[in-house]
Chain A
Amino acid sequence: MPLCILRNIRKSFFIGQEEVEILKGISLAIDEGEFVALMGPSGSGKTTLMNIIGCLDVPSSGEYIFAGQKVSGLTDDELSIFRNEHMGFVFQNFHLLPYATVLENVLLPTLYVSRKKDSEPLKRARDLLKLVGLEDRERFKPSQLSGGQQQRVAIARALINDPRLILADEPTGQLDSSTAREIMDLLQSMGHGGKTVLVITHDWETAAYANRKIHMQDGLVSG
């Protein structure tokens, strides 16, 4: 059974008085364990689609089903819980809290856990830091780390609540090619570990890691 099912998803924004349709009816399915690259020129609606899949945003119309549950129609609080439990985000600009330490950043999603399921977030955070090779940096501030290291912290943060879907919006956009490769290797190993990974990129080298590529053009999936 697919993890994500999207049926005729549309999304429009108002820019001033004018309504602009960004997504013009997208239907697709992503299977559990897939490593998907979402490609397309800027303005094609990649990020908007990812935000909807990641429950950061809601579609104007259409149906979205995640793991058998209908997402469209959930309240804001329910979407928050959904993100907290099932989604792990990795952003192009890392998006770490500048004043918090590496460890505090990794622990951030555990603050908002609603159902008590994990007993040892601290131990898991340290295990994840070890996994991404930063076990000796837990007291550092993000500004004391290189871009690649910051992105590893972000990946550890994305994994801490053991989500089913990892969403990465141009995760290598700010990194040099060798660091980019390291980050993609890391994401790929997540995929081998059974996680579903969705990566936005317009870099073919990055897209080569994916076992499926979705091309977008002008608000529609083009093949």
Chain B
Amino acid sequence: MERFFKIFQEAAIAVRAFKLRTFFCLASVALGISSITIIVAATEGAYQQAFEMVERFGPDSLMVLGGSETTRAVGHREKTITLDHVRAVEEAFSSAYVVVPMTAQGNIIASYRERRAQTRVIGSTHDYSQAWTWPVVQGSDLTENDVRGLRNVALLGHHLVETLFGQEDPVGKYIFVNRIPTQVVGVLASRGTSPAGHNLDDRIIMPITTVMRKIQNETRYINNFRIRFVDARRLESHEQELRSFLRELQGTPEGAPDDFRIISPKEIIGFLVALTGSLVAFLGIVGVMSLVVAGFVLANLFLLSVKERTKEIGIRRSVGAKKGDIRFQFLCEAVLITSLGGLAGFALGVAGAQLLTTMGQFPIHFSWRAFAVGLGLSWTVGILFGLQPASRAANLKPIEALRS
């Protein structure tokens, strides 16, 4: 053990002595490790974001959209869900604690005095903020009476408040929503941007009855509804139950596709992973390639170094170094250098990630795991590509090495 430690010290002395070799090996390993570090951090960032999204969507939630999957794919949103369906679901599923219908209308002009903004209106019920776990931070929520009485009241998204009111307190003020005078009763907490780049805070929430009757001129159909279950662990079986219930309700014949679409938290994760996947794959290929190149640089420089240090090897052998001692020393040198390269690469990766996050909306999350992967890979490169030169050094014949 002590002997290993002593030989390791010898390796450290050599790493310091052969500065140019150390520098080139270290730099090439650092480049590879930095891109790998970014990949790991980006993957972790994506998963963390997916996790947050699911948290926000609600791990106990399902969302039902009108229209079959095929019609949605061609950009056509059929309306197939009615408020009666929602009511039926509410009555049938005692396992759900909230069922909220929603209907959306884009291209809405909202104005307050001289200020105008183009936005979208979402019609819903007093359960909207609960359904989305989206608290009202100013004023009050919509009430059951607002919905029943088709009242012209609204909750505003944070962004819209800033555009229309600036610093002014919006609660109690009247705005025009497509020329309908509407009283602002509350403001929703800020949510930022969705992964697809939509500003979530740019919206108006009004009673669904008001929106259908006064804005959409619609009597039956709504866009979608959300349902949250008490037991999140049974979400998958709930999804099955809901599907067959809705099929029966809509009278869909056996074998025909659904006339609606159910979105679950699992689908959201899949969407996010697909979004970041391509960048991760690209960086992955670059990272692995540069690590392999770094390995060859290392092997090459070490082979040169063994040649240059033949006499040293002969001297060490003459004073009693075994083959294994020589091999161990050169391996130590390689691993020492790649470890330093790994550390430098990690630092470089952190800096590069900073650049990526400022340039694009890319989630990055650093953890001990990114660090461990980087270090582990640099050791692998050191051992894998250091082994051949180290063995070559070990197998030199002492007398021939001394004669060189």
Residues of A within 8 A of B (CB): 51, 54, 56-57, 76-77, 80-81, 83-85, 89, 91, 95-97, 99-100, 104, 108-109, 111-114, 157, 161
Contact = CB atoms under 8 A, between A and B. Distances in A.
B320 A112 contact: yes
Given A95-B311, A99-B13, A57 B316 contact: no
B56 interface: no
A76 B398 CA distance: 11
Contact of B14 (A51, A95, A99): A99
Contact of B319 (A76, A109, A114): A109
Contact of B316 (A51, A81, A108): A108
Interface in B315-334: 315-325
B394 to A, nearest CB: 10
Contacts of B10: 111
Contacts of A96: 315
A84 B322 CA distance: 10
B13 A89 contact: no
Nearest to A48: B399
Contacts of B266: none
Interface of B: 3, 6-7, 10, 13-14, 17-18, 311-312, 314-325, 398-399, 402
Contacts of B402: 56, 91, 95
A54 B402 CA distance: 14
A112 B319 contact: yes
Contacts of A99: 13-14, 17-18
A57 B322 CA distance: 14
A157 B323 contact: no
A96 B402 CA distance: 11
A91 B314 CA distance: 12
Main secondary structure on chain B at its contact with chain A? helix
Contact of B320 (A57, A95, A109): A109
A50 B376 CA distance: 47
B3 A111 contact: yes
Nearest to A80: B322
B319 A84 contact: yes
Closest 9 interchain pairs by CB?
Answer: A84-B320, A99-B17, A109-B319, A112-B320, A80-B322, A111-B6, A83-B320, A77-B322, A112-B321
Given A95-B402, A99-B13, A112-B322, A80 B7 contact: no
A200 to B, nearest CB: 14
A109 B10 CA distance: 12
A157 B10 CA distance: 16
B315 A108 contact: yes
Nearest to B314: A95
Given A81-B320, A83-B319, A108-B315, A51 B399 contact: yes
* Most central of B317, B323, B398 by chain A CB within 10 Å: B398
A56 B318 contact: yes
B312 A89 contact: no
Given A111-B7, A111-B10, A89 B319 contact: yes
Given A51-B399, A56-B399, A104-B13, A77 B319 contact: no
Contacts of A89: 318-319
